Structure formats: structure tokens, C-alpha cells
Structure 1
Amino acid sequence: MEDFRRTYQRMCKEGGVEVQESVLAQLQETRGSSRLDLSGQSLSVDTCSVLGKVFQKDTVFTEVSLSDCMLSEEGAKVLLSGLFANMTVKVLDLKGNNLRSTAAEVLGKLLARNKTLKRLVLEWNAVGIWDEAFSMFCEGLASNSVLTHLDLRNNQINHQGAAELALSLRRNSSLQVLDLRWNNIGLLGGRSLLEAVQQNKTLTHLEIAGNNIPSDTLRALEQAIKHNSDKQSTVRESRKRTQVLSREIRQLKEEKGRQFLNLMETIDKQREEMGHSSRSTSLHVGQLQEALNERKSAVNSITAKLQMTEAALALAEQKNHNLGELLARIKTEREEQREQQSKERKKEQEEVVLRESKLLREIQNTTDTNLQLKNKVEEMERRCKTQQQQIFELKQELTNSTAELKLRLAQAEDRLEMEKRRTKQALEDMDSLRQKEVDHLNRHLEESERTLQERIFKLEGQRIQLEEELSRAKAACVTERAQAEEELGKVRTQVRLEEQQHVASLEEKLRSVRQSRQEVQVHCSQQKQTIADLQAKNSQKCIELDGLRRRIEELQQELSAKDQEKVAEVARVKVELQEQIGHLQAERTAQGGLKGKISALEREMKALTSNHREAILDKESELASLLEKLRLREAEIQRMREDEAQRASYLQSAILTYVQGSSLGHYGSPKK
């Protein structure tokens, strides 16, 4: 720390630059720590150049914070160029410095040359304004292999910048966390990022809220990020397992070596003991031979004592015999010990072989499990790809509608000045349009009520016809079975034709409802634009909108009530049909002689009722799905309104902060 402060003062003196007291005070406060915090200090170009030269040779600080320092383009360029050759700084914070084109280019060069920086914070800057400079930054990021955390919040990145960033992510293999909140990426940028994330396998955390990206792409991005994190976790687990297995194998090998060394030591010891015992026996034999020689010389010299010598010889022979028996016993014991040792060695070798076979089986099992996991991962990827393709195919209509809305928004922004002059006329026109829309909705509801009543009458007519046909079939079931079958075929064809006509009418009505909904959405978008432009002046519009929303809710409640009535009527018809079936079954029990002939007709009637039930259930499910789609469309419209209001508020706040920051930077620059 003292070396850094001294070098800073020395470089200031050599370059003829005034020493900034605030920087010196901050350096004195941060003694004994590896973090340099200069946030909030207004650094001039000269101080930035001196700090850049000092950072070239610095080996103390690992974290540097330069947030809200009002750095100019030249100052940022000089300071960041000093960090090209730095080998200690791992965290760099440049939040709120309004960095633009030249700073973005220098940052790209920094990422391409520096090999130690792991975290870079660029929140509240303007790096994404100039496409060429941001492309240079993205090239540096693509060539970097160390950076793991990158924060690009509120940097005015558009869809082209997102495409460049996606290209860099395809080439990068080290970035793990990326924060892109509160930019202007849009639909195209979200798709390009989705393609890049699907190819990148290291990015495990992505923040992308507040970028006007549809919910389907956000969900797809979340799934891709989750897939990457799952892959990383599986890879880590497999690495851990392989490390554990390798450690166990090493331990087993070491144990085998130790056991082998112990066996060799025991064998050596036994050999030494055998040599020692053989030496002792040879010494005893030599001593005995010397005694015999002495005794022989005594016999030759003293012939008078032959009896004594013979007795001594007999005793010596007995001793020799005993010694021979001892030698034989020792040999047998040695052979037994050798056999035991050989058996123990064989047992140990068998145990070692069993352990090795067990380890090989475990390794094979782990490899099989890894292959199964890989196959499962590939199947999941294929399923994800098919699901994503289906989602993109299903939601092309939404993309077209959003594109049209954006075009209309652009046209509306061009016509704002003309509409300001015609506000009064627009208000009157809006009132008339609202009244027309209400009338149109009322007419549409009346038409739907009429159609529902017509459907009910048709169902009653069909029920009456079916009852008549049943009575005719019962009367002529004995004599005219063929005629009954023909009539049933005709009834089936008529029912199918009526169902097809009914389905066609339902589709036409649904198309008309969709067209009316689209018209209402267009009118609502126009109203939203006029209200967003004249919020301060036209507070009465909010009250009128609340009234319209209440009317729409009342209409929706009426629609739900009518749907409930329709369901109740269908249930009543089902109950009546069930009662009729019960009466038919009672009559069938009464007519015992005609059971076999009438059973076929009843089966056909049951099939018809089941078909009718299935058709009714299908229609109910279709109506429910249509209602859910309408609700989802309304929720998406409300979400788009809220997103546009938030964007407008964020743009206003950003413009105010930019204006205030530029004014403060212009008037509050330090004097040299």
C-alpha cells in the first residue's frame, strides 16, 4: 500500500501533475487491504493517466472500484490501457461512468489481453449505443478465457448488440454469470441469445428482465440455462466420482504394495532364522566331533579305562541320536511353516484378485451409469428441441401481432405532434368509438344468445326425433329389423351432418369473436398511446377506462353465467336421456322374449349416446380452451401495457439522470 502511494506521488511529480488529495486520503484509509475503493471521486484525465501507469506495475490490489467517478472517454482509455499488463486485479467496478464508444473499444482490448480479470461491472453506462464499438467489446469477450462474471445492466443494448453478444457467447467458454437487465434487446435479440445459450455450455446464470422480450423466449432461455446448470452439476458429480474411484484404486494399489513388502520382509526374516539355526547345529556337531576325537585319543593313551570310554561312547551315540531327532523335527516344522506361508500367500493373492474384480465391476457399472445419463441427456435435449420448435411454430401469430403493434407505435410516435393539436376532437371521437364498441359487444352477445337458443331447440328436436325412432324400432323390431337398421344408419348420417354444420357454425362464430377481439385490442392500443401521451392533462380518461373495464368484467360475468346455463341445460338433457335409457331397460326386462333382438338396438343407442356425450365434452373442452386463450391474450395485453409504462418511466428517469449527470460533469469538473 505504501509503495503504491509513493509511486503515485512520484509519477505525479515526474509528469508535472497535481496530486489529488482525495485519492491520497483514500489510499491512506485502505491500508492493509487488497481492495482499492475510489467510488465517487471525480478523477481527471491526468490522474487517470498516472493511475494507469501505476497499475501497470502494481502487485497489491486484487479489487478496484471506480464507480460514479465521472470518467471521460480519454481518462477511461488511459486508465484501462494501464490494466492490460496487470496480473493481480481480479474484480473491476466501473458502474455509472457513462462509458461510450472509445471506452467500449478499450474494454474489448482489455478483455482480449488481460489474463487475470474474473469479474467486470459496467452497470449504468452507454456501451451499447455505438454498434461498431460494442462489436469490438464482444470480440474481446469472445477471445477471453478467464472472465466469469459480467454485469451489463442499463447499457442501452439493442437487438443488434444482443446479436453480437450472442456471437461472442458462442465462442466464449469461461463466462458463467451474465446480467443484461433493463436494456432494449427485444424479440430478435432474445432469439439470438436463445440460440447462443443453446450452443454455450458454461453459462449457468442469466438475468434478462426488463428487455421487452416475450414470455415464451424467456421461458426457453430459463430452460436452456437450467439445462446448462444441470449439465455442469452432472459433470462435476462425474468428476468427483472418478476422483473418488481413482483415489480408492490408488489406495488399493498402495495396500497391495505394502502387503507384498510385508510378505517379503517375513520371508527374509524366516530365511535369516533358518540360517541361524543351521549355523548353531553345525557348531554343535563340530563340538561333538572334537569331543569324540579327544575321547579316541584318551582310549589310545589309556587302555586300562576301556569300559569307561565305551560307556562314554554309548552316551555320545545317544546324544547324537537325540540331536538327529531334533534336526528332523526342526526340518518338519520348517516345511510346515513354508506350507502355511504358501497357503497364506495364495489366500492373499485370491483376495487381491477378488478386490480387483470388484473394482473393475464397479468401474464398469459407473461407466454404464454415465452412458445412461448421457443418453438421457441427449433424449432430453431432443425433446427440448422438438418442444421449442412446436412453441415457435404455435407462436408465430403472436410475433406477427407484436411486430404490427411496434410498427403502429412507431407511426404513432411520428404523429404525436399532429395529435396534440387535435386532442379535443380525438376525445369526442373516442367517446363515440367506445359507445360503438359497447353497442357492437351487446349485439354480439345477443347474437350468441340467439345461436345458443337455436342450438337448444335443435337438440330438443333431435331428442324428439330419437324418441320417435326408438318407438318405431320397438314396434317393428320383430318384423322389420332390416328397416330399423336402415333408419339407424340414416339417423347416424343426419347426426354427423348436423354435428359438422354445428362445428362449422361454431368456427365461424369463433372467427368473428377473434376479429372483434382484435379490433378491441387495436382500439385499446390506440387509447393506451393517447393516454400515455396525455396522462398529466387528461386525468378523466383513467376514470372512463375504469368504467370500461367494469363493463367488460360485467360482460364477462354475463358470458360465464350464460356458459353455466348452457352447461346446466346440457346436464338436464343428459339426465333426461339417462331417464329414457332407464325406462328402456325396464321395458326390456318386461319383454323377456325379445331380449336378444332388442339388445343389439340398445347397444347401438348406447354407442350413439356415448358419441353424443363425447361430442358434447369435446365442444365444452373447445369452448374452455377458447376462453383460456382469450384470457391469456387479455393478460398479455395488460402485461404489454405495464411493460410499456415501465419502459416510459425508466426512459424518463434515465434521461433525467443523464441530463443531471452531464450538467454536473460539465460544471463540476476539477480544475487543474
Structure 2
Amino acid sequence: SYSGVKLLLHGLCSNTTVKSLDLKGNNLRTVGAEALGKLLWQNKSIRSLTLEWNSLGMWEEGFSSFCQGLGANNFLQRLDLRNNQINHQGAAELAVALTQNASLQELDLRWNNIGLLGGRALLNCLHRNKTLKRLELAGNNIPGDILKAIEQALNHNQDRETILSEAQNQVNILSKEVLSLKDEKNKQFLDFMDTVDKQKEEKVKSERISAARVGQLQEVLDEQHSIMNSLKAKLQMTEAALALSEQKVHNLGELLNTMKQEQTSVAQCHFRELQQQKQESADREAKLLQDLSAASEKNLLLRNQVDELERKCKVQQDQLFQVKQDLTNTTAELKLRAVQAEERLEMEKRRFKQSLEDMESLRVKEVDHMAQHIEASERSMQDRIQRLEAIRISLEGELSQVKAAALAERGQAEEELIKARSQARLEEQQRLEHLEEKLQLMTESRDEAQKCCLKQKEMVAEAQARAKQLSLQADGLKRRLEELQQDLNRKEEEKVIEVNKVKVELQEQIGHLEAERTAQDSLREKVAALERQLKALSSNHREALLDKEGEISLLLEKLRMKEAEISRVREEEAQRASFLQNAIMAYVQGPPLGTHGSRK
């Protein structure tokens, strides 16, 4: 249906994937032609469009919109319009569209009604359209000469495209060759510059190396001079040290003599002091012996006093023992009395029992009397018991008093003994400490005297050892001086040898530098030769470029000649076409009416 075709074409307007569209035999008519025009206006992906058997030429408005869309489209390459009843007017509109189109390469218009006028319009449009390569016009009532002219125009377009493509290819090839020549020239120039830079760097390196060697040799010479100066300074220092050591040896000898004299005097003084100390120690020992004898006598007296006090303590202990025995005796008597009283009570109880047994009949009568008598007897017994207890308590108090007095006397005696013993011990300790202090002082004085003697002996030994060491050091310094003199002589010889070596090396370096100068001169000559070669190469390249430019100019002249020939052919064809057109017009118009009547 028309609406379906319209919707389909409207949807394809924004499509970007469809490359080929075939709508033959759909009877599109005006609506379809207008929709196709819009499609060609908007779509940019379709390359092939087939519209056979659709009678598009019958609808002038629709076909004109289709032609306008075709003129605006620059992407379609193949169009099939066979059997669409296109007349000369439609062909003229199609020719106008082809003049505007720049992408269509194949157009099929077979079996339409284009006629002579349509053929001329298509022929005229081919003078402007340069992309159309194939045009099918069979079955359109177009004269043969027009068809031939159209074929010639198409062939001319094809030839022109081939010539242009060949010229473009040649231009591309020539440009590539020119670029390759430029690259080669640049490479050669860069290689030459690299070689020049390398030679310059080598020259700079050689100069630096030579300068470094000269500096090293100068440093070696300076070091040797400094070594010589240091050795001279060391010799002066050693000589000064020797002089100082000799002075020290002389001073030490004098010190030894003075020390010996002082030692002899000190030894005599110490001997005298020792004799005096011996006498004093003997006197002190006699005094100490006397003090010891007096202390021993006092100890004997104190021991006698202690014995007497011990005897008194024994007597007091005996008295205490007797008191204890008396206490035990009194307690035994009290116990016996209590036992006797208890026995008496038992006897009386027995008697009462017997009387009760004997006088059972009288018991009732004499109960009151017996009870009173028993109570009185019990009271008397209680009184006796109380008295005995008071006697016992008084005896116990007396015993406690006696014990306390004995303990007090014993404590006093023990305190007196302790005081006497402590006083005796303190006095003995004080005397012993005093004697020990005196002995310590004597021993310390003796030890100090011995230490002084030992120190003096050590001083003498150290002085002798120092004298020996100084003599050894003097001998060593003399030997060192001899060795230093030998080293100086040897180093002077080495210095002379090294100076000669340095001179030889300097001469060799001078020779090397001269050789390097010659090499640099040769390199400069090579650089000049290379520059000449570069100039020659540049001249050759220029000549080659000029030759290429001449060839390009020849090709351009050939193109111009061919274009002139093409223009001449076109003019001839135009003349022929005009001649044929005049002939056809004359043929179409026919002879005048008068001539027909006369013939009849």
C-alpha cells in the first residue's frame, strides 16, 4: 500500500546500515516518488537503488521531487530506472539532477520514452557531470548519433578519470621519490654531521686526555717537591730531637748524680731514725710489760672479789634452800593436822552412828538435843577450819616475803657482779686498745720507712732504666738518621730517574700531540672532501629535481594537448549535433503547403 511504502521510506531516512535497496514492481506513483526524494535528501548509506517497473515518469510532480533529491545526494552510486515511462521532460529534470550530482557512476534508463529531446538533455548534462561512467539508454527512441555522442562523452569521462588517476599516481610516485631523495639527503647530511661531531668529540677527548696527563705529571712533580720538602723538614726535626735528647741525657746524668747523693744522705738519716725508733720501741715494750704486770695483779684482785661474791651467793642459796625446806615442813604439818581433824570427824561420826544404832529408841526423844549438839560441834569445827586456813595464809605470805627478799638480795648481788665484771672488762679493753694503737703506730712507721726505702730503690732503678733507654734511643736515632740519609740519597736518585722518565713521557706526548694534529689536519681535509661530495650530491639532486620538474611539465603539456583535443572533439560533436538538430528540425517541420499542392 502507499502508506506502507511511505512509512518504509520514512524509516529508511535515518538508517545507516542499509547499502542496497530494491523496490521494483511496486507502483510507487506520486507519494512514493516524493518519499524517495526525501530518502535521497536525508540518507547517506544507500549505494544502490533499484526502481524498475514503478511508472515514476507518469507523475511529473513526484518525479521532479525525486530528481531534486537525487541532485542533492552525494552517496548513491548505482540507480536503476528501467520501465518507468520517463518522457523527455522527465529526462530533462533527470539531466539537471545529474549536473548537480557528483557520486552516481551507473544509471540504467532502458525502456522509457526519453526521445530525442531527452537524449539531447542527457548529452548536455554529461559535459558537466564527470563521475557518470555507464549510462544505458536502449529502447528510448533516441537517434544513433546522440547515443554515439553520449557514449563518446562517457568514454571521455572514463579517459579523463584514467588520465587523472594516472597523473595522480605519477605525481604521488614523484612526490614519494622526492621525499625519499630528501630523506636520503637528510640522512647523508646527518651522517656527515655525526661523523664531524664524533671527530670533534674525539679531538676534544684527546685534548682533555693530554691536558689531564700533563696535569697529572705536574701533580706528580709537585708531590715529589712536597715530599722532598717534608723529608728536609723531618731531617731538621730529627736533628733538633737529637740535640734535645743529648741535652736530656746530660740533664739525666746530672740528676742521677744528685739523686745518688740525696739517696746516700737519706739512707743515713733513715738509719739514724731507725736506731732511734728501735730504742723508743724497746722503752715502750718495757713500759708495756710493766703495765701488763699491773693489769694482771688487778685481774687477780678482781678474781678474788668475784670468788667472795660467788661464796656469798652460795650462802644465800643455802639459806633459800633451808627456807624452802621449812616451808615444805610447815605445809606437811598443816596437811597432817587437817588429816587428823578429818580422822577425828570420822571417829565422831562413827560414834554418833553407833550411838544412833544403840539408841534407836531414844532417837526420837533426843533428836532436838542431838541436832543442837551437832550444830554446835559443826560450828566449832568450822571455826577451827577457818583458823587453820588463816594460819596457812599467814604462813604463805611469810614464805612469799622471804622469797621476795631472797630474790631481791640475789638480784642486787648479780647486778654488783655484772657491774664489777663490766668495769674490769672495760678497763682491760681500754688498756688493750691503747696498747694496740701504739703497736699499730709503730708498725705503720716501720712500714712507711720500708716503703720509703723501696721507693728510693725503685727511683734509682727507674733512673738507671731511663738512662739505658735514652742511650738506646740515641743509638736508634743515630741509626734512623743514617737510614734517612740513605733514603734521601735513594729518593734523589729515584727523583732524577722519574724526572728523566717524565721528560721522555712529555716528549712522547708531544709526539702524540703532533701526530694528533696531523690526524686532525687529515680529518679536516676529509671533512672538506666530504663537503665537496655533499655539494656535488646536492648539485646532482638539483639536476635530478630539475629533470623531474621537466618531465612533470612535459606531462602537463601532454595533458593540455589532450584537453585541447577533447575540446576540439567536443566542438566538432557540437557542430555535428547542431547540424543534425537543424536537419531533424527541417525534417520534422517538413516542406511548405504550397509545394505539396503543386505536386498534387
What TM-score, normalized by structure 1, do the two folds share? 0.46
**Hey, what's the Cα distance between the residues in 1 that align with 2:96 and 2:506?**
100
Partner of 2:9: 80
> Is 1:281 matched with 2:467?
no
The 1:279–1:75 alpha-carbon spacing in structure 2 relative to 1, beyond 3 Å, is same
Counterpart of 1:343 (choices 502, 506, 529) is 529
**Residue in structure 1 matching 2:538, options 352, 357, 363:** 352
Report the Cα offset of residue 170 of structure 1: 1.8
Query: Helix, strand or coil for the counterpart of 1:206?
Result: strand
- Is 1:180 aligned with 2:109? yes
Give the corresponding residue for 1:92.
21
* Distance of aligned partners of 1:320 and 1:184 in 2 relative to their CA distance in 1, 3 Å threshold: same
- Name 1:327's counterpart in structure 2: 513
Please say which structure displays the higher CA radius of gyration: 2
Q: 2:566 aligns with which of 344, 365, 380?
A: 380
Between 370-379 and 308-317, the greater mean CA deviation after superposition = 308-317
1:202 to 131, 156, 162: 131
Taking the aligned partners of 1:286 and 1:191, their CA distance within structure 2 comes to 99
Aligned-pair identity (%): 43
2:54 matched to 1:153? no
Cα distance in 2 for residues equivalent to 1:99 and 1:191 = 28
Could you tell me whether the CA contact under 8 Å between 1:179 and 1:206 is conserved in 2?
A: yes
Q: Which residue is equivalent to 1:262?
A: 191
Distance 1:357 1:206, change over 3 A: same
Larger mean CA deviation between 302-311 and 371-380 belongs to: 302-311
Tell me how far apart the structure 1 counterparts of residues 218 and 589 of structure 2 sit (CA, whole Å).
122
SS in 2 for 1:146: coil
Inter-partner Cα distance in structure 2 for 1:304 and 1:220: 120
Q: Alpha-carbon deviations, 1:327-349, whole Å to 9, x = none?
A: 11112112211331242134124
Aligned counterpart, 1:418: none
The Cα of 1:207 is off from its aligned counterpart by: 0.6
Deviations 1:455-498 (A, max 9, x none): xxxxxxxxxxxxxxxxxxxxxxxxxxxxxxxxxxxxxxxxxxxx
The alpha carbon displacement at 1:123 in A equals 1.3
Q: Distance in 1 between matches of 2:509 and 2:70?
A: 92
State the partner residue of 2:58: 129
Distance 1:182 1:388 in 2: 26
Judge conservation of contact 2:18–2:45 (CA < 8 Å) in 1.
yes
8 A contact 2:126–2:150 mirrored in 1 = yes
- Name the counterpart of 1:579: none
Q: Is the 2:109–2:136 contact (alpha carbons within 8 Å) kept by the matching residues of 1? A: yes
Matched, 1:236 2:165: yes
Q: 1:178 and 1:403, CA in 2 relative to 1: closer, same or farther beyond 3 A? A: farther
Q: In structure 2, what is the equivalent of residue 485 of structure 1? A: none
Counterpart secondary structure, 1:234? helix
Deviation at 1:401, TM superposition (A): 4.1
Letter in 2 for 1:100: R
For the Cα contact (< 8 Å) 2:149–2:573, is it kept in 1? no
1:91-138 deviations in Å (ceiling 9; x for gaps): 111122122111111111111121222211111211111112111111
TM superposition shift of 1:271:
3.2
Contact (CA 8 Å) 1:108, 1:137: kept in 2 or not? Answer: yes
CA distance in 1, matches of 2:7, 2:53: 21
Structure 1 residue 304: Cα displacement: 6.7
Structure 2 SS opposite 1:120: strand
In structure 2, C-alpha distance between the alignment counterparts of 1:398 and 1:329, rounded to whole Å: 100
Q: Supply the AA of the counterpart residue of 2:529.
A: K
Question: What SS does the aligned partner of 1:203 have?
Answer: coil
What is aligned with 1:220? 149
Q: Identify the match of residue 556 of structure 2 among 370, 389, 395.
A: 370
Residue type of the partner of 2:112? Answer: N
2:2/2:28 contact within 8 Å kept: yes
Separation of aligned partners in 2, 1:211 and 1:403: 22
- How big is the shift at 1:256? 3.3
Distance 1:400 1:294, change over 3 A: closer
Structure 1 range deviating more: 333-342 or 396-405: 396-405
Query: What is the Cα deviation at residue 242 of structure 1?
Result: 1.9
* Partner AA of 2:549 in structure 1: I
1:247 and 2:176 aligned: yes
SS in 1 for 2:79: strand
Deviation at 1:154, TM superposition (A): 0.8
Distance 1:311 1:141, change over 3 A: closer
**Higher helix fraction (1 or 2):** 2
Asked if structure 1 preserves the Cα contact closer than 8 Å seen for 2:192 and 2:530, the reply is no
CA distance in 2, matches of 1:315, 1:232: 86
How many residues in Structure 1 have an aligned counterpart in Structure 2? 336
2:503 aligns with one of 303, 309, 317 = 317
| CA shift in 2, pair 1:215/1:316, >3 Å | closer
Q: 5+ unaligned residues in a row in structure 2: which ranges? A: 233-484
- Provide structure 1 residue ranges, at least 5 long, that are not aligned to the other structure: 1-71, 406-514, 520-672
Q: Which has the higher contact order (CA 8 A, sep 6+)?
A: 2
Shift of 1:150: 0.9
Cα distance in 2 for residues equivalent to 1:248 and 1:375: 26
Aligned AA (1:359): L
Q: In structure 2, do the counterparts of structure 1 residues 167 and 289 end up closer, same or farther at CA, with 3 Å as the change threshold?
A: closer
Q: Could you say if the C-alpha distance between residues 394 and 214 of structure 1 is closer, same or farther in structure 2, counting changes exceeding 3 Å?
A: closer
Aligned to 1:117: 46
Residue 107 of structure 1 corresponds to 36
User: 2:47, 2:77 within 8 Å by CA — same for their partners in 1?
Assistant: yes
Which string of whole-angstrom CA distances, capped at 9 and with x for unpartnered residues, describes residues 20-66 of structure 1? xxxxxxxxxxxxxxxxxxxxxxxxxxxxxxxxxxxxxxxxxxxxxxx
TM-score, scaled to structure 2 = 0.51
Amino acid at match of 2:548: E
Q: Contact 2:79–2:108 (CA<8 Å) still a contact in 1?
A: yes
CA contact (8 A) 1:220 1:388 kept: no
The structural deviation recorded for 1:240 is 1.5
Identify the range of structure 1 (379-388 vs 286-295) with the bigger mean alpha-carbon deviation.
286-295
Deviation at 1:231, TM superposition (A): 1.1
Distance 2:517 2:115 in 1: 95
Report the residue type matching 1:362 in the other structure: K
Q: 1:304 to 1:240 in 2, by over 3 A?
A: closer
Judged with a 3 Å threshold, the aligned counterparts in structure 2 of structure 1 residues 164 and 308 are, in CA distance, closer, same or farther, namely closer
State the distance in 2 between where 1:83 and 1:381 align.
Answer: 43
The 3 A distance-change label for structure 1 pair 304 and 110 is: closer
Report how far residue 314 of structure 1 moved: 4.8
* Aligned partners of 1:98 and 1:124 also within 8 Å: yes
Distance in 1 between residues matched to 2:118 and 2:494, nearest whole Å? 125
Task: Check 1:294–1:201 CA distance in 2 against 1; reply closer, same or farther (3 A cut).
Answer: closer
How far is 1:288 from its partner? 3.2
For residues 501 and 118 of structure 2, what CA distance do their matches in structure 1 show?
115
Change (3 A) 1:213 1:400: farther
Q: Please give the alpha-carbon distance, in whole angstroms, between the structure 2 residues aligned to 1:175 and 1:360.
A: 40
Q: Distance in 2 between the 1:106 and 1:180 partners?
A: 20
**Letter of the structure 1 residue corresponding to residue 19 of structure 2:** K
